[in-house]
């Protein structure tokens, strides 16, 4: 099939590349000329494991191409994917200006039947809104499908190639047939393509992300409570997770969720409820608890240094909002950096993939290390904000000789408390018993 993907961020570029990998001809459109030039020159503009191999292979095969020209994309594709940003607006709602802006242009440009597929995360009713926006200036036949994306950054290629499910929201038999044909190669192992109406599909995405954010937040509250009563959240987590109704995943406490999805999606669902006088009390609590969770580690750092961080140097491991991505949007590490700088500390930062994005934001205000140990040289303490696997089994002797004080503040509970006590390292983590 001939596919156009509008927006080549984490979702769009993975979608385009993986569709090309399955033999489709894909033209990716982005307004960011720099990005398009980079991609045309064969460079993947984001870090996403395994994406580079597929990207290169499909460009070479001539199945994956790039342009800044939307009209060219619309002429090319039988199916038009919208993978555009839906950022948080000032009032917490999802800002639809990118999606509706492109919808307006679609209305002006298309001259043959197209299936317009909304992959962006959007509030209930957006498919109708996209349809009416296109109809304002369009006489050609078209269908709008809601096809929310469930890929996880860091596993995006795998998630796209072998999805647990595909959700298609449409009331058009013709569009459903096209979508089923397109996705069939991705579900050969038997995972379902779930067909539903547009509104239910739109809500499925918000409900899934809000549920996951709630699950993490619930565990963060349990961890905070453990800290107060002397229980150990690791033991509680393992005890809970063996119940198959609960499951072992997503029970790890930490310094809050971040990223480009959970924070904005929880708020957007809450706001869409509020707009029709339905109050998602649980989501209000999730937002509030998560904001608080980002703040819980800083006072520990501060009080260790008698509330005087002026001139102290803090090494940070992990800047991305989670491992295996370079995405720093709403990353808890950024909160910690801001607080440390505000208190007069120097920050030496390291992340395996997110350094460039952090440099763009902070410039020379921070020092950056070539590797994880270099930032600890001469630092007064080590702070861990992201659970990259390379941080999991560090050389403790090297760390102790590098750091001025053998102290680690761990926002991701990476190390066994007993081991760290044996190593003579003062170790502060989240919701665990002190040894």
Q: Of 82-90, 234-242, 313-321, 333-341, which part binds ligand NAD (CB under 6 A)?
A: 82-90
Residue nearest to ligand NAD according to CB distances in the complex: 9
169 binds ligand NAD (CB under 6 A): no
Give 30 or 387: the residue with its C-beta nearer to ligand NAD: 30
Q: Among residues 51 and 151, whose Cβ is nearest to ligand NAD?
A: 151
Report the chain's terminal Cα–Cα distance, integer Å. Answer: 60
151 binds ligand NAD (CB under 6 A): yes
For residues 167 and 147, give the distance between their C-alpha atoms in angstroms, rounded to a whole number.
6
Quick one: which of 49, 42, 144 has its CA closest to 103? 144
Rounded to a whole number of angstroms, the minimum distance from the CB of residue 29 to ligand NAD is 5
Strands 346-350 vs 313-317: parallel, antiparallel or unpaired: parallel
Instruction: Kindly list the distances between the CA atom of residue 280 and the CA atoms of 76, 266, 285, 291, in Å, as whole numbers in the listed order.
Output: 42, 10, 9, 17
Segment 110 to 149, residues that bind ligand NAD, using CB under 6 A = 120-121, 149
From the CB of 64, what's the least distance to ligand NAD, in Å? 16
Q: Give the nearest distance from C-beta 121 to ligand NAD in angstroms.
A: 4
What's the CA gap between 7 and 18, in Å, rounded? 15
Interaction of residue 261 with ligand NAD, rule CB under 6 A: yes
Contact flags string 61-80 toward ligand NAD, x per CB under 6 A: --------------------
* Annotated active-site residue in 18, 28, 138, 261: 261
Smallest distance, Å, CB 295 to ligand NAD?
25
16-55 residues in contact with ligand NAD (CB under 6 A) are: 29-32, 35
Q: Other C-beta atoms within 10 Å of 371: how many?
A: 10
The minimum distance between CB 281 and ligand NAD, in angstroms, equals 24
C-alpha 346 chain-centroid distance: 28
Q: Which CB, 30 or 324, lies closer to ligand NAD?
A: 30
Count of CA atoms in the C-beta half-sphere (13 A) of 363: 1
Say whether residue 153 binds ligand NAD (CB under 6 A): yes
Size of the site for ligand NAD (CB under 6 A): 26
14 or 382: whose CB is closer to ligand NAD?
14
Q: 9, 163, 369, 431: which one contacts ligand NAD (CB under 6 A)?
A: 9
Dihedrals φ, ψ of 390, to 5°? -65, -15
To ligand NAD, the closest distance from the beta carbon of 7 in angstroms equals: 3
Separation CA 312–CA 343 (nearest Å) = 9
Q: Is 28 in the active site?
A: no
Q: Hey, which residues are catalytic here?
A: 261
Point out which residues bind ligand NAD (CB under 6 A).
6-12, 29-32, 35, 83-86, 98, 101-102, 120-121, 149, 151, 153, 260-261
């Amino acid at each position: 099939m001939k596919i156009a993907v509008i927006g080549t961020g984490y979702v769009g570029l993975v979608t385009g590349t993986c569709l090309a990998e399955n033999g489709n001809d894909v033209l990716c459109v982005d307004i960011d000329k720099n990005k398009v030039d980079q991609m045309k020159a064969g460079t993947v503009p984001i870090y996403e494991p395994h994406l580079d191999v597929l990207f290169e292979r499909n460009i070479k095969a001539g199945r994956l191409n790039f342009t800044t020209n939307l009209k060219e994309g619309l002429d090319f594709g039988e199916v038009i994917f919208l993978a555009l940003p839906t950022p948080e607006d000032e009032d917490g709602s999802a800002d639809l200006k990118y999606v509706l802006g492109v919808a307006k242009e679609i209305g002006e440009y298309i001259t043959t039947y197209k299936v317009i597929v909304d992959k962006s995360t959007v509030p209930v009713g957006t498919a109708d809104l996209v349809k009416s926006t296109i109809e304002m200036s369009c006489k050609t036949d078209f269908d709008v499908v809601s096809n929310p994306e469930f890929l996880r950054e860091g596993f995006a290629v795998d998630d796209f190639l072998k999805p647990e499910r595909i959700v298609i929201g449409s009331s058009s038999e013709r569009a459903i047939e096209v979508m089923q044909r397109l996705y069939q190669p991705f579900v050969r192992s038997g995972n379902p393509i779930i067909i539903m109406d547009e509104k239910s599909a739109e809500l499925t995405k918000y409900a899934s992300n809000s549920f996951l954010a709630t699950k993490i937040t619930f565990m963060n509250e349990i961890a905070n409570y453990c800290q107060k009563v002397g229980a150990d959240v690791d033991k509680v987590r393992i005890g809970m997770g063996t119940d198959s109704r609960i499951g072992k995943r997503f029970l790890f406490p930490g310094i809050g969720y971040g990223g480009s999805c959970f924070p904005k999606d929880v708020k957007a669902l809450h706001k869409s409820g509020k707009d029709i006088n339905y109050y998602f009390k649980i989501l209000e609590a999730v937002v509030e608890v998560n904001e608080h969770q980002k703040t819980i580690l800083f006072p520990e750092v501060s009080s260790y240094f008698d509330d005087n961080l002026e001139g102290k140097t803090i090494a940070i491991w992990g800047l991305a909002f989670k491992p295996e991505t370079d995405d720093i949007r709403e990353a808890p590490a950024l909160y910690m950096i801001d607080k440390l700088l505000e208190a007069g500390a120097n920050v030496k930062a390291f992340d395996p993939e997110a350094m460039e994005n952090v440099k763009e934001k902070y410039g020379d205000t921070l020092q950056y290390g070539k590797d994880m140990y270099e930032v600890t040289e001469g630092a007064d303490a080590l702070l861990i904000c992201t659970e990259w696997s390379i941080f999991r089994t560090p050389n403790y002797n090297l760390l102790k000789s590098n750091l001025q004080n053998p102290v680690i503040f761990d926002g991701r509970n990476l190390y066994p408390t007993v081991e760290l006590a044996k190593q003579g390292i003062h170790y502060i983590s989240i919701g665990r018993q002190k040894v």
